[in-house]
Amino acid sequence: MKQVRWGILGCADIAERRIFPAFQEVANGVVAAVATRSGSPRLERIRAAYPPFRVCGYEELLADEAINAVYIPLPNSLHLEWTLKAAKAGKHVLCEKPIVCRSRELSQIKQAAQEHSVHIMEAFACLHSPLYPTIRRLIAEGEIGELRAVEAVFSSPLQSPQSPKLSPEFLGGSIHDVGCYNLLSIRQVTGREPVSVKAYGSFLPSGVDGTVAALLDLGGGIVGYSFSSKDGANHRGLKVIGSRGIITFPKTPNTWGQLEITLARPEGNRIIPLTASNTYAAQLEQMGRCILEGEAPLVSLEESGNNIRAMELLHAAIGSWMSR
């Protein structure tokens, strides 16, 4: 089988924890190069655990004609710059979420994809899971009656105040790091975009949003609730409330393996089993098919744009520095 030769820009934590392990399950792609400084402990751990790859500088990696695609796990503030550089170099791009944090920047990415004839996809690995389609099917089949509300919670504390995820310089904060998943879940389950948002946010000493609770008017009498936090205890889950039942999934949407969705109705509860493959491997495989077989990216730039606009509504509702 022909394989996509991937380059990774930056030796980020997610590359070590998720992407390198995922590549061991990918048939149509291989890591050929990593752009990072030599000798970092993380790089040395990765080199010891996985098949060999070349280590080089960022510009050198983009200039390598043998590299077909790049994965970008850099801090949020660097996504636009390096996505555009990669596209200009003729590389297909899989960029970590959020691909950008402002709607006006996404138009530059769309233009670059068209101008350089490359695929650019946001790395929302959870969209490569059967979770959302299964929940949508249950709603469509009337299992919970009329849809009333969707609650999405994702609290994931960070201990280091120096983390880029807590820095305004790197476009950190709870909305961008974990709230984007909540908004995606609410939008995916309902098939609706928020009309308006009311929200409360608390802010960290750095100035970014630490915790945000938001109510989304989705129209048609349907409400979304998002709770995101970078300074609250670990907590995550999805709840879909109807007129005669509730669907509950008590994990992050990126979870895979043998999963369970709980369907609670007046006549009793029912467990719905779900089998999900490694979502990170699935997104790499799908991107490989886009490049090798002409398949359309599962996460379109239009879908990314809708989620970015939802994030902007939350920022405006809490009066964050991003909305000024």
Residue located via tokens 């886009």: 290
Distance CA 273, CA 255 (A): 13
> Catalytic: 230?
no
pLDDT of residue 229: 98
Q: Which CATH architecture has domain 127-279+308-323?
A: 2-Layer Sandwich (3.30)
Distance CA 207, CA 89 (A): 36
158: burial class by Cβ within 10 Å (0-12, 13-18, 19+)? middle
4-123 and 127-279+308-323, same CATH topology:
no
Confidence of residue 37 (pLDDT cuts 50, 70, 90): confident
Q: Are strands 196-203 and 235-242 parallel, antiparallel or unpaired?
A: unpaired
Mean pLDDT over residues 165-173, rounded?
96
Length of the chain measured in residues? 324
Query: Which of 37-46, 72-81, 127-136 is least confident?
Result: 37-46
Which residues, 6+ apart, have CB-to-CB distance to 305 below 8 Å? Answer: 103, 106
> DSSP class of residue 296?
P
The answer on pLDDT for 145 being more than 80 is yes
Residue 54: in which H helix or E strand, if any? strand 54-56
Q: How many CB atoms lie within 10 A of CB 59?
A: 11
Mean pLDDT over residues 198-221, rounded?
97
pLDDT of residue 323: 85
Full-model pTM = 0.96
pLDDT of residue 1: 66
Provide the residue type at 311 as one letter: M
Mean pLDDT over residues 231-235, rounded?
94
Confidence of residue 14 (pLDDT cuts 50, 70, 90): very high
The topology under which CATH files domain 4-123 is Rossmann fold (3.40.50)
Cβ atoms 128, 283 nearer than 8 A: yes
**Which of 85, 91, 97, 165 does the annotation list as catalytic?**
97
Domain ranges within the chain, ordered by starting residue: 4-123, 127-279+308-323
Average pLDDT, the chain: 96
Quick: pLDDT tens for 91-114.
999 999 999 999 999 999 999 999
pLDDT of residue 40: 86
Residue located via tokens 């609290």: 155
